[in-house]
Structure formats: C-alpha cells, structure tokens
Amino acid sequence: MTQNSSIGHGDNVFIDGQDLWSDLMETARFGGTPKGGIRRLTLTAEDRQVRDWFVRTCEELGCTVTHDSMGNQFARRAGQDDSLPPITIGSHLDTQPTGGKFDGILGVLGGLAVLRALHRAGYVTRHPIELINWTNEEGSRFTPPMMCSGVFAGVFTEQEVLDKRDRAGLRFGDELEAIGYRGSEPCGQHPVTAYFELHIEQGPILEAEEKTIGIVTGVQGARWYEVTVKGKDAHAGSTPMPMRHDALLAAARMIEAVSTVALSHAPTAVGTVGLIENRPNSNNVVPGEVFFTIDVRDPDDAVVQQMEAQLYDLLPEIAERSGVALEIVRIWDAPAVHFDPACIGMVEAAAEESGYGARRIVSGPGHDAAYMARITPTAMIFVPCLDGLSHNEAESITEKDAEAGASILLKAVLKADAVFNNA
C-alpha cells in the first residue's frame, strides 16, 4: 500500500454504513436467540465461532491477526513507520446470557469498519492501527468483568485469571485452551500509543436529548460483592414461623437494603442485585442458603465508599434479626476513571467537524477503556440506543447512528495518528 497524499486529513476515507450493519447482523448469528438477541458467553463454542470470523475478516483486509495469553485478539494494519506503537481501537464480542446485538460488538465492528475504510482508500497511517477484541469483558460467565483488559493493564495477574472458575466449576485457563485461543505472547507485553472505544450508551440520555454522539469523559466508580446467607433447611409445613431460620427471607430484606442505600445517594448512585441462587430451591423446604451479588456505582469514589460502609452496617443487622449467618466478599473494585483530555478533545473536534449533535457524558457501565486509561491516553464515543435499553435481547440502535459513531471513531484515530509520537 502507498499513502494517498490527497487524503492527508482523511477527507476521502469514509465509513460504509451498510457494510458495518451487515457485519452486525452477520455476527449476530453466532449465539443468536429466538428473541433476536445473542447468548455468546466468553470461551464457549459461540465465542470461538465469532473469533474465527474476526480473524478471517480482518485478514481479508490485509491485517495480521494475533492473540495473547489471555485470548485478547489484535488485528494489526501496518503503518508508514511500523516501529511506532500502534493506535488501538477495541471492545468485546462476548455477551450477556440474554444480550443484544450491539453492546461491545459495535465497538469491535465499528473498528473493523475503520480498517475497511482505510483499506479501500489505500490510506496508510503513520502509526500501525490495531483493532482489539478483549476477552471476557462482560464478566457474566467468569467474574469480575473486564478481566483480560485488566490483566493487560496490570490490574490482575495472569495466573489469578487463568484460575477463575465459572458457576459450574470450569476453569478459565482450561476453557481458553479448549477453544484454541491461548496465545504465547504474555498479556500486557503489547505496546500502544492510544486507545479509542466506540460503544452504545446503555442509558437514555443521548436519545432523550436527541444527540447523536456522546463524548465520554470518564467512567463512574463501581464495586461488586458476593453475599452468602446461611440459615437452616426445614420442612415448610411443620416449622413454626417464629422458629425458622429462613435464608431467603433474610436475603430479600438485604436486597431491599441495597436499593435503600442507593436511593439515599440519589440521583447519581445505583445499586443492583442481579444474580441470586436459592438453595435447596424446593416448594416445601424453608430455604437454608442463598447466594446473591451486589453491584454499586457512583461517579464519586467517596460515595461508593459510603455505600459500602452502609451495606456493611445494614446487612449484618438484618442477618442477626433473622437468625442467619452472613458472609460478604468484595470481588471487584473499579475506581472512577477520567479519560485523557487530548483524546477527549479529538473526539469532540471530530463531532463538531461532522456536524453531529453531541454532548459530554460520564459512562455508568464499566468498559475495557477504563483499564486502558491506566496505561495509555484513552477516550470513548457513545451513540444512543433505543429507550436506553441494554443487556437485553431487545437492545436496538439505528444503522445511521452506528455509521455516525464509526465515522467519529475514524476521525479521532486519524487525529491521534497526526499528533502522537511527534518529535
């Protein structure tokens, strides 16, 4: 390839929105559900299928595709100066158990659209450009989320992630080997210049304000907990109410307390119990054990800390009143993240130049970009989703907004290519 000097600012490099949409619909086949969503849990057969598709498609565009020891995939398009660390784009292809077609997937396929646009125009950037598919962003099968971008950024060790087990007891490292995506390059030993991530908002603000582009300035803080409540199994017909040690009743009161704590820090804080297991889960047995998770978030780390302190006060009180034992384990702590001002400015300038309605916004959900921001200049781009709905099979965006987001991603990458690593 040779650089086309007539497009020094990428004027003739453009996103093909129809091809992007086609990619979104095609990859939705891997793990597609009857309700129109996707069930593509990390390190499953469906995950392997979409990874194989990613390799084939990127190689057709002249990219070299590799994967590291955590299964993170890197599609590299050579630059004029291939000694420069690459400018990277990324997100994830794994989904929730009842996930939609766009969460994470838009970021990877929007990045693919960028590579395709450069390829078709014959435009060679100064830096190499790399598109990344991060392993296990969702944290649905293996917790915590953003696990392998976390290893890349030095938040987790490789071994602790390899030893993680899902609820069925299957080990992460074994499952990674099983799908054939355990690479030889140690995770994290991969240089980067900057990182950009395109994503659906997963909230209602852009749609409500009729904005096309969210210029993401950072990610709010989050903490996850696993809670085990232990009472005593007993016969439902013969155990008097005052003599019961009902783990599920106690857990219900605790779940309500999570909501109460979050509401006490309204309007910014949120608290969620999203997973619950009741044992023995029989019609005529007083539940003897309940396991559930807690997710608390706020843009201010001090508020997250206050919420934790309140929960550590309230939940033991409920356990004592209910005659049950309680164990709370914090399994994930992700402090609030502030993205790089220069990268934010590139996204903002791209939106202004393109004439899209845009606004600055803080991300409620966590993203791989939150960990990448620890090691390299980083920014994110949001586009609206219908009714702010995500983590749901009915998740929906428009083809026009998908194209707009990828176009801003392309422009931001070209701006970064012109600015970074200059003498």
Block means of pLDDT (10 residues each) for the chain, 423 residues, are: 39 93 98 97 98 98 98 98 97 97 98 98 97 97 95 97 96 98 96 98 96 97 96 97 97 98 96 97 97 96 97 98 98 93 98 97 93 97 96 97 98 97 65
User: Does the annotation flag 265 for ligand binding?
Assistant: no
Q: What is the pLDDT of residue 421?
A: 80
User: Does the annotation flag 138 for ligand binding?
Assistant: yes
d(Cα 59, Cα 377) in Å, to the nearest integer? 27
Q: What is the pLDDT of residue 10?
A: 52
Residue 105 burial class via C-beta count within 10 angstroms: exposed 0-12, middle 13-18, buried 19 and up: buried
Q: What is the pLDDT of residue 68?
A: 98
Q: What is the pLDDT of residue 423?
A: 47
And the tokens for 23?
Answer: 């990619």
Q: What is the pLDDT of residue 341?
A: 98
* Domain range annotation of the chain: 5-219+336-419, 221-334
User: Does the annotation flag 317 for ligand binding?
Assistant: no
To 10 degrees, what angle do helices 301-322 and 247-263 make?
A: 150
Is 229 in contact with 326 (CB distance < 8 Å)? yes
User: Does the annotation flag 352 for ligand binding?
Assistant: no
DSSP string covering 89-150, please?
A: EEEE----TTB-SSTTHHHHHHHHHHHHHHHHHT---SS-EEEEEES--S-SSSSSSSHHHH
Q: What is the pLDDT of residue 120?
A: 97
Domain 221-334 carries which CATH code? 3.30.70.360
Q: What is the pLDDT of residue 158?
A: 97
CA 177 to chain centre: 22
Q: What homologous superfamily does CATH list for 5-219+336-419?
A: Zn peptidases (3.40.630.10)
Q: What is the pLDDT of residue 2?
A: 35
d(Cα 23, Cα 41) in Å, to the nearest integer? 19
Is 58 in contact with 115 (CB distance < 8 Å)? yes
Residue 72 burial class via C-beta count within 10 angstroms: exposed 0-12, middle 13-18, buried 19 and up: buried
Identify which of 196, 389, 229 has the alpha carbon closest to the alpha carbon of residue 322: 229
- Residue type at 231 in one-letter notation: G
d(Cα 316, Cα 325) in Å, to the nearest integer? 8
pTM: 0.84
d(Cα 290, Cα 361) in Å, to the nearest integer? 37
d(Cα 345, Cα 251) in Å, to the nearest integer? 46
User: Does the annotation flag 127 for ligand binding?
Assistant: no
Identify which of 333, 335, 294 has the alpha carbon closest to the alpha carbon of residue 315: 294
**Which residues make Cβ contacts (< 8 Å) with residue 63, sequence separation at least 6?**
75, 76, 77, 115, 131
